[in-house]
Amino acid sequence: DTEVTQTPKHLVMGMTNKKSLKCEQHMGHRAMYWYKQKAKKPPELMFVYSYEKLSINESVPSRFSPECPNSSLLNLHLHALQPEDSALYLCASSYRDNTEAFFGQGTRLTVV
Amino acid sequence: GQSLEQPSEVTAVEGAIVQINCTYQTSGFYGLSWYQQHDGGAPTFLSYNALDGLEETGRFSSFLSRSDSYGYLLLQELQMKDSASYFCAVRGLSGGSYIPTFGRGTSLIVHP
């Protein structure tokens, strides 16, 4: 299995909703990442987990809450989002935090 | 911090060769990667250079010169399907963690 799987592929949520994005990999990678990407822009790093511990939080607002239940799973909990949070949310994983990363297909999030 | 520079757009014709340059500034450099992203898709890993020199993978090659803080992606025998955005990404060491940062991306347009 050489894939990073993200669910759902599309999500529309209201500003008062709570939802979660899920990411799964079974490649034995010990680093996992959340990125946010707006149209025509590069991916922006949000969080890095290394060996299931949060190692980097790029000053992301608290309405985004990451969780790493185990070495294969990464969640991103969403609460009270704003319309400007609408974007493609990408999960990635790498063998270690200093090796190349492989991306999932992303969740396209629309906040209404 | 880290910063990368790459051209915003490159155009070429089918069958041609194109080179996309990337210059970077980072502390604790730990490798330069290249990713391809088609519209609506996720970034796909293409290549990774940690040491100086040329890495070849089929029609794609990537080069790194650490002394010049410079790298490039070379695409040969261009095909229409190569039209996409290409991102260089660098890993730098900060606070004991490896921070992956993407350049702003180069839009490659391949004409018949």
Chain A residues in contact with B103 (beta carbon < 8 A): 42
Give the minimum alpha-carbon distance from B48 to chain A in angstroms, rounded to a whole number.
7
Give the nearest partner residue to A45 out of B42, B43, B100, using CB atoms: B100
Q: Name residue A8's amino acid.
A: P
- pLDDT, tens digit (0-9, with 9 covering 90-100), for B75-96: 999 999 999 999 999 987 776 7
Given a contact cutoff of 8 angstroms between Cβ atoms, the answer to whether A85 and B78 are in contact is no
How do B9-13 and B60-65 pair as beta strands? unpaired
Residue A33 pLDDT greater than 70, yes or no = yes
**Interchain CB contact of B69 with A (< 8 Å):** no
Sheet strands (E) in chain A: 4-7, 10-13, 18-25, 31-37, 44-50, 53-57, 64-70, 73-79, 87-94, 102-103, 107-111
Give the nearest partner residue to B42 out of A40, A90, A98, using CB atoms: A90
Percent of chain B with pLDDT over 90: 79
pLDDT band at B60 (very low <50, low <70, confident <90, very high): very high
Given a contact cutoff of 8 angstroms between Cβ atoms, the answer to whether A33 and A43 are in contact is no
CB pairs under 8 A between A and B: 51
Given a contact cutoff of 8 angstroms between Cβ atoms, the answer to whether A56 and A44 are in contact is no
**Is B45 in Cβ contact with A103 (below 8 Å)?**
yes
- pLDDT, tens digit (0-9, with 9 covering 90-100), for B91-112: 877 767 777 889 999 999 999 9
Residue A22 pLDDT greater than 70, yes or no = yes
